[in-house]
Chains A and B, each alone.
Chain A
């Protein structure tokens, strides 16, 4: 199957005298490198500028809250089961009286950890989630000095209650509404 029309058929023939000199080929190569000196560099000067990413980019996860600021997650464990990299662990707990404003249902995740070094950002966890709780966002993980720094707990994953701390996932959510 021909994918591009740039492929060249290899012919093993004697080189001509001019080709054996190699000088024309060398000058040709030098012309190419000289031309490249005036091309725009492909470099993105991170962190001053960041690369533009897709609107449905799969970056660091967020654990969503509902409109009243209650956590959606019920610690059912479907995300952990679906995770091909086995990056997600959690511990479930029962909601006590007086915690109704914190958790939407009777069961919630007391501990929820994603190992970002294991995660392959495939997005299967958000596909598996029946409670609209976990989504991938367009944020990327920061660099750390230790491996333990890459294990993200609830403190980093759950979005804030205040409206300005909410993470917008409408673009990714739309993706699932179509399918």
Chain B
């Protein structure tokens, strides 16, 4: 059922990716911008996410509140996401209504109003979103680990931003960010669904072709220096359990070692879909962390994760301590699993399992056009959409020795930040 991806660059620099999928009479339209918390200077944290919110607050053509109605009336669903490296918007619609998705995205790429009143009303909505996250001990620990793991790179601050920055941000700040990053030469349009590619491409050209290209984009100069020793953070607040989170500074997704890191992650906690929507099947209970941490009674849950990123990010491990277990014991058990792989590598059977699991995850992801477009867009924003197809080959080429080598190279004491959350009612 898989058809090839057609890539076409418009004269204004916007890349269009098209993939026909005729399994169901639906289609999806995604637009991706290469902007996220990575592009935010100090004092403006959270600005990319706030701009994303403002793109739902009206243009002269589609006033505030009309966009959601318009999509609903056409039987569609929509959303927007902001992440460290990218911001994305989508509409999934009955296939014969997909033109609406293009119309909405072409319009709000340049015409979003950012009315002062809407900016102020959204300020409190976003602070409310932040305070919702700030109810969770996992958020407190995650933010502390990221802030310690990155000393210079903007990955150190949360995508939602700091409250004091959100309180101070002005309409002009937001509009400036929008005008800098929202332009065809910084965007990727991804269309997947039950359509004819030639007709669809003409539609994309009509919608986006006349939008002018903008100036060259500001580059992110920050580079996280090589860590020179382990960093440790402890958070003490009221909470239900102790949590441990460990982050190792890891290479970006374009590194030749990325596939081996993905296999390492699979060996620890099973293969997962590498996108933020997930949607695969649970495969972690036969991997290494579950028996070592959960079945042994040390932890109620344990996880590992590799995030494909534009700049070096983190390879992470974490666990929720069982009642009465010291977080130090949980940390030791997590690190012991890393040490075993550094010493002995992984078995051929684990390699084979990782490959089959990843093949299954890719197949599950291909059930929905929304998910397919998300994978294409994410990889194109980070590197190249071709990675969606080549990743399975990359994984097949990873040897057990590669996994041992990258564990020895990257999962070292020097490169790690260890965080403990300790429940403390007196805090």
Answer yes or no: do A and B interact: no
